[in-house]
């Protein structure tokens, strides 16, 4: 059904509603808990599963091709900067995986461009973007142009 | 209806759709426009929206010029070869010469990029691809965009672009509605950068029921990039160039890392290599210039994606399916096994769910592959999108009208799927295109091109009425029947989507007809699309969520119509394996080595088709 919500775990906080890219996690008006209102528009992207503070959301594979009896669970931790997966097969086999999600303390590494000195006229009139040319090669190399690379544009059939 | 009208005025740069293209635009715009007002309108939540919402396990476009790995023109040649000659080489060269600076920034922002332990360089999956732990790719770039934007409006479904009432063919902002509150939002802006998405779900999917959400491209990629721009009268290019993906069956899990890094390979149902057996016949269709296995073997020039699809489709139709990916050998290595699984968990969890459900362990069993339904987009191995200006130091006159990545509408720029002729941009290239568009948009404003824009109340009111019409229609007619969805006065968005997918599949070369179409079929398809447009006037939405689906459907329908016109116009089979024109089964360079360009007149809905010259990048011998 792609995602589904465990009745006993969901407290109706709405984090899943807030994050779902497909707008399909909604709060049920009677039970005041979340549910997937349109399973055929669910990508099994796990955004809601990762966002749920109660671990209340799970995924059951698409009914038209996935048999029952499996699970793929996830724990995403911004403090530790990791994501942990546990896959359980229908036949009981289990596999676990752990990956980093960032190399920097969460939310600290991106500068505010309003605080950096603005570009001068020369840079505005050039083809350069912010942080260029330095970030192109992390050395003194410049931007490639047709001239620097000995190229031209020609009309017609070229293979 | 009681919905409020909320006007955001005085915007300089409005970013519509904040996926990888839109976040790049918003981030960079602040540098060039330190005092400018930058606003984002996003259909979902910027932290998890767009095609990369779920994450990525590779960045597929990185030159590595710092290590002398590639030059920008190498990538242009690669994209040209893969797309059978027809790409915008000015835009591609421009993207490729800047993309590394984008990736180096990502690394600084905390995106984990894998390193080759021997060389210390980024770990290559293939010549252009580097491997990442990209589960949080989208939240990271979203943070960058949020740091630059003055305001981020999440959950706004943008339905139309606003046009200047004072000057013909100049953009003035956008309108839409809030998917939560239902309120009407008006964004008055000097420039608009369209970062909205390409099109999933315009062709009938292989799956039925629930599984139709397991599209290859995200189901929320609702062709809005095209719907918005075509409706405003922007010229479009290469819209016939839809893409079909060879992927793991049903889950559509990616195969790139499997082929390139894990060195797995394909075989038919009899356990035989099959691909090369189709090449002699295929060579007769496309010519030796486009398919020469010997040269490819000697020079490592890749066989175009569509031609490899063709071999797979033909082999299955010849009765020797299914096609298998031979994984059993590679997966005996525990490290490679880990890479194989994490590849899915990082970007297509549904494939891991499916293998768990069906007890497919690629260590013990070779999984099945299949070819997907067609998709229309502009950043993967295909280049549909708007006809945009290139940069002044590269573009020939036919490709240049003042501002990089500006469409044929003044002040309207594109990035990612919105820009035509730039395949193989992928995530990093789309972000880079956003950056280029942002710089150009700021220059456009600084040059005084956005002075004196007029937006009449009439235009704002007209769009408001149009937007809520499906809700109104539902309210008026729902009681004409006792209960249920069968109503002679309307169709709902799901019913409309089913109709669109079925007709595109049958008449425009979908999966059930093995991607085959012809002039007669396409003409019938266009008629059906026209009648469908009349029925879209009777679209009914029960609530705000259905109103979202209604507008997604209208964007999909418009994109589908444009795709069909383009497919009819190009009388050749340029990309066998993506689609076939049964009445013109050969590649025809004499007449069709050109880019197709269309424009829909917003006043009467008529399409004009034209051929634009195809320029190539060559060595300057002078």
Q: Summarize pLDDT for B20-33 with one digit per residue, the tens.
A: 999 999 999 999 99
A86 shares contact with chain B (CB less than 8 Å): no
User: Distance (Å, rounded) from C-alpha B376 to C-alpha B383?
Assistant: 8
Q: Which H, E and C letters describe B346-363, residue by residue?
A: HHCHHHHHHHHHCCCCCC
Nearest residue in chain A measured CA to CA from B340: A97
Cβ-based contacts under 8 A for chains A and B: 297
Residues of B in contact with A52 (CB under 8 A): none
Residue B377: name the closest of B255, B229, B223 by CA: B223
CA distance A8 to chain B (A): 23
Nearest residue in chain A measured CA to CA from B79: A159
User: Distance (Å, rounded) from C-alpha B277 to C-alpha B315?
Assistant: 9
Whether a cis peptide bond, with omega within 30° of 0, leads into B401 is no
Q: Do A130 and B31 touch (CB under 8 A)?
A: yes
Q: Do A44 and B548 touch (CB under 8 A)?
A: no
Enumerate residues 6+ apart whose C-beta is below 8 A from B540: B470, B473, B474, B477, B478, B487, B489, B490, B491, B492, B546, B550
Least CB–CB distance from B135: residue in A61, A101, A111: A101
Number of neighbours of residue B325 by Cβ within 10 angstroms? 24
Whether a cis peptide bond, with omega within 30° of 0, leads into B118 is no
User: Distance (Å, rounded) from C-alpha B462 to C-alpha B444?
Assistant: 28
Enumerate residues 6+ apart whose C-beta is below 8 A from B360: B354, B367
Q: Do B213 and A103 touch (CB under 8 A)?
A: no
Q: Class assignment of domain B250-371?
A: alpha beta
Nearest residue in chain B measured CA to CA from A106: B110
Q: Name beta bridge partners: B516.
A: B580
Helix axes B72-82, B89-108, angle to 10 degrees: 120
Weakly modelled stretches of chain B, pLDDT under 70 = 1
A149 shares contact with chain B (CB less than 8 Å): yes
Least CB–CB distance from B618: residue in A62, A109, A154: A154
A79 shares contact with chain B (CB less than 8 Å): no
Q: Do A46 and B65 touch (CB under 8 A)?
A: no
- Helices (runs of H) and strands (runs of E) counted in chain B: 17, 20
Which stretches of A2-153 are DSSP H helices?
15-19, 47-51, 121-125, 134-137
Q: Which two tokens stand for residue B145?
A: 């965009």
Whether a cis peptide bond, with omega within 30° of 0, leads into A62 is no
Least CB–CB distance from A91: residue in B73, B349, B359: B359
Nearest residue in chain B measured CA to CA from A42: B213
- B11 in Cβ contact with B191 (< 8 Å): no
Least CB–CB distance from A87: residue in B85, B101, B352: B352
| CATH level 3 topology of B457-597 | Methane Monooxygenase Hydroxylase; Chain G, domain 1 (1.20.58)
Nearest residue in chain B measured CA to CA from A157: B593
How far from chain centre, in Å, is Cα B291?
26
How distant, in Å, are the alpha carbons of A141, B264, B425 from that of B76? 20, 27, 11
User: Distance (Å, rounded) from C-alpha B15 to C-alpha B21?
Assistant: 9
How distant, in Å, are the alpha carbons of A18, A31, B155, B197 from that of A28? 15, 6, 19, 30
How far from chain centre, in Å, is Cα A52?
15
How far from chain centre, in Å, is Cα B592?
23
Q: Do A99 and B135 touch (CB under 8 A)?
A: yes
Q: Do A68 and B589 touch (CB under 8 A)?
A: no
Q: Do B353 and A124 touch (CB under 8 A)?
A: no
- B18 in Cβ contact with B26 (< 8 Å): yes
Nearest residue in chain A measured CA to CA from B617: A153
Residue A24: name the closest of A5, A7, A50 by CA: A5
Q: Which two tokens stand for residue B608?
A: 């004009």
- B604 in Cβ contact with B314 (< 8 Å): no
Residues of A in contact with B546 (CB under 8 A): none
When pLDDT is averaged across residues A146-150 and rounded to a whole number, the result is 96
Strand ranges in chain A using DSSP code E only, listed in sequence order? 3-5, 25-27, 34-36, 57-59, 71-77, 82-88, 94-100, 151-155
Strand ranges in A78-155 using DSSP code E only, listed in sequence order? 82-88, 94-100, 151-155
How distant, in Å, are the alpha carbons of B59, B93, B128 from that of B426? 7, 14, 11
A126 shares contact with chain B (CB less than 8 Å): no
Domain residue limits, chain B: 250-371, 457-597
User: Distance (Å, rounded) from C-alpha B10 to C-alpha B151?
Assistant: 12
A75 shares contact with chain B (CB less than 8 Å): no
CA distance B408 to chain A (A): 21
Least CB–CB distance from B207: residue in A64, A93, A95: A64
- B179 in Cβ contact with B548 (< 8 Å): yes
A121 shares contact with chain B (CB less than 8 Å): no
User: Distance (Å, rounded) from C-alpha B167 to C-alpha B159?
Assistant: 22
Which positions 18-57 of A are in contact with B (Cβ < 8 Å)? 18-23, 26, 37-47
Q: What integer pLDDT is reported at residue B609 of this predicted model?
A: 98
Q: Do B112 and A131 touch (CB under 8 A)?
A: no
Mutation for testing the A interface, residue in B136, B257, B445 having most A CBs under 10 Å: B136
CA distance A30 to chain B (A): 17
Give the H/E segment covering residue B398: none
Q: Write out the catalytic residue numbers of A.
A: 43
Q: What integer pLDDT is reported at residue B1 of this predicted model?
A: 60
Residues of A in contact with B283 (CB under 8 A): none
CA distance B250 to chain A (A): 7
Enumerate residues 6+ apart whose C-beta is below 8 A from A98: A82, A83, A84, A85
Residue B473: name the closest of B541, B568, B570 by CA: B541
Domains within chain A, CATH numbers bracketed: 1-66 (3.30.70.20), 72-102 (no CATH), 111-149 (no CATH)
Q: Do B209 and A40 touch (CB under 8 A)?
A: yes
Least CB–CB distance from B439: residue in A47, A111, A129: A129
The conformation of residue A97, written as its DSSP 8-state character, comes to E
Least CB–CB distance from A127: residue in B345, B355, B393: B393
Q: Do A61 and B101 touch (CB under 8 A)?
A: no
Q: Measure the CA dihedral B327/B333/B338/B343, to 10°.
A: -40
- B39 in Cβ contact with B187 (< 8 Å): yes
User: Distance (Å, rounded) from C-alpha A49 to C-alpha A52?
Assistant: 5
Number of neighbours of residue B247 by Cβ within 10 angstroms? 19
Q: Which two tokens stand for residue B360?
A: 């497919």
**Angle (nearest 5°) at CA B584 between B578 and B590:** 95
Mutation for testing the A interface, residue in B219, B339, B391, B399 having most A CBs under 10 Å: B219
The conformation of residue B293, written as its DSSP 8-state character, comes to H
- For the question of whether the overall pTM of this predicted structure is more than 0.95, the answer is yes
Q: How many residues does chain A have?
A: 159
Q: How confident is the model at residue A32 (pLDDT cuts 50, 70, 90)?
A: very high
Q: What integer pLDDT is reported at residue A1 of this predicted model?
A: 56
Query: What is the secondary structure of B184-223 as a DSSP string?
Result: EEEEEEEEEEE----BSSSS--SS-GGGGG--SS-TT-BS
Q: What is the pLDDT of residues A74-127, one digit of tens each?
A: 999 999 999 999 999 999 999 999 999 999 999 899 999 999 999 999 999 999
CA distance A10 to chain B (A): 21
User: Distance (Å, rounded) from C-alpha A129 to C-alpha A143?
Assistant: 10
Helix axes B224-232, B544-569, angle to 10 degrees: 70
Residue labelled with tokens 């249920």: B484
């Amino acid at each position: 059904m792609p995602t589904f919500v465990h009745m006993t775990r969901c407290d109706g906080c709405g984090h899943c509603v807030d994050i779902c890219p497909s707008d399909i996690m909604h709060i049920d008006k009677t039970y005041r808990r979340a549910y997937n209102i349109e399973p055929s528009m669910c990508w099994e992207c796990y955004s809601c599963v990762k966002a749920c503070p109660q671990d209340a959301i799970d995924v059951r594979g698409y009914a038209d091709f996935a048999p029952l009896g499996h699970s793929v669970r996830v724990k995403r931790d911004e403090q530790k900067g990791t994501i942990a997966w546990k896959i359980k097969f229908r036949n009981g086999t289990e596999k676990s995986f752990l990956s980093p999600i960032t190399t920097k303390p969460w939310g600290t590494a991106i500068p505010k461009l309003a605080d950096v000195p603005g570009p001068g006229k020369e840079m505005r009139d050039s083809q350069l973007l912010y942080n260029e040319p330095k970030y192109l090669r992390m050395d003194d190399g410049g931007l490639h142009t047709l001239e620097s690379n000995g190229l031209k544009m020609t009309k017609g059939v070229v293979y | 209806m009681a919905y409020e009208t909320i006007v955001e005025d005085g915007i300089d740069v409005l970013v519509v759709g904040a996926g990888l293209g839109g976040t790049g635009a918003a981030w960079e715009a602040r540098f060039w426009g330190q005092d400018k007002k930058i606003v984002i309108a996003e259909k979902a939540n910027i932290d998890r929206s767009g095609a990369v919402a779920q994450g990525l396990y590779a960045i597929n476009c990185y030159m590595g010029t710092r290590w002398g790995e590639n030059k920008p023109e190498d990538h242009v040649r690669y994209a040209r070869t893969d797309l059978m000659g027809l790409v915008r080489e000015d835009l591609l060269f421009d993207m490729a010469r800047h993309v590394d600076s984008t990736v180096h920034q990502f690394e600084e922002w905390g995106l984990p990029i894998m390193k080759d332990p021997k060389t210390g360089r980024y770990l290559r999956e293939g010549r252009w691809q580097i491997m990442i732990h990209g589960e949080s790719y989208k939240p990271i770039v979203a943070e960058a965009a949020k740091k630059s934007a003055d305001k981020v409006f999440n959950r706004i479904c943008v339905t139309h672009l606003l046009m200047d009432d004072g000057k013909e063919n100049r953009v003035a902002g956008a309108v839409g509605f809030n998917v939560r509150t239902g309120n009407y939002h008006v964004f008055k802006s000097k420039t608009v950068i369209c970062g909205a998405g390409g099109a999933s779900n315009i062709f009938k999917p292989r799956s039925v029921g629930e599984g139709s959400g397991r599209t290859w491209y995200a189901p929320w990629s609702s062709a809005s990039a095209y719907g918005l721009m075509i409706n405003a009268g922007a010229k479009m290019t290469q819209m016939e160039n839809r893409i079909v993906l060879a992927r793991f069956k049903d889950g559509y899990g990616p195969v790139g890392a499997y082929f390139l890094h894990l060195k797995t390979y394909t075989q038919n149902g009899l356990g035989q290599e099959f691909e090369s057996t189709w090449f002699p016949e295929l060579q007769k269709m496309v010519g030796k210039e486009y398919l020469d296995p010997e040269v490819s073997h000697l020079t490592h020039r890749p066989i175009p994606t569509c031609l490899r699809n063709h071999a797979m489709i033909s082999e299955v139709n010849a009765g020797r399916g299914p096609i298998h990916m031979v994984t059993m050998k590679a997966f005996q290595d525990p490290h490679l096994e880990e890479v194989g699984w994490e590849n899915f968990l990082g970007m297509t969890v549904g494939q891991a769910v499916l293998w768990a459900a069906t007890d497919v362990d690629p260590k013990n069993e070779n999984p099945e592959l299949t070819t997907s339904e067609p998709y229309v987009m502009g950043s993967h191995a295909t280049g549909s999108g708007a006809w945009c200006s290139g940069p002044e130091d590269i573009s020939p006159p036919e490709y240049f009208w003042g501002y990089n990545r500006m469409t044929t509408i003044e002040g309207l720029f594109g990035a990612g799927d919105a820009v035509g002729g730039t395949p193989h941009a992928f995530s990093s290239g789309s972000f880079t295109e956003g950056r280029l568009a942002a710089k150009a948009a700021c220059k456009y404003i600084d040059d005084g091109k956005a002075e004196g824009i007029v937006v009449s109340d009439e235009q704002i009111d007209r769009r408001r009425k149009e937007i809520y019409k499906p809700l109104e229609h539902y309210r008026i007619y729902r009681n004409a029947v006792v209960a249920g969805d069968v109503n002679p006065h309307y169709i709902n968005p799901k019913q409309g989507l089913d109709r669109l997918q079925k007709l595109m599949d049958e008449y425009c070369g979908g999966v059930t007809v093995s991607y085959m179409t012809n002039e007669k079929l396409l003409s019938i398809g266009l008629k059906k699309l026209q009648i469908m447009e009349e029925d879209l006037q009777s679209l009914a939405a029960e609530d705000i969520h259905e109103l979202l689906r209604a507008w997604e459907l209208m964007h999909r329908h418009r994109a589908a119509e444009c795709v069909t016109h383009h497919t009819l116009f190009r009388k050749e089979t340029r990309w066998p394996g993506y689609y076939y024109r049964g009445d013109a089964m050969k590649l025809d360079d004499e007449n069709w080595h050109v880019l197709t360009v269309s424009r829909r007149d917003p006043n009467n809905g008529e399409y004009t088709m034209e051929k634009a010259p195809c320029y190539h990048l060559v060595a300057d011998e002078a």
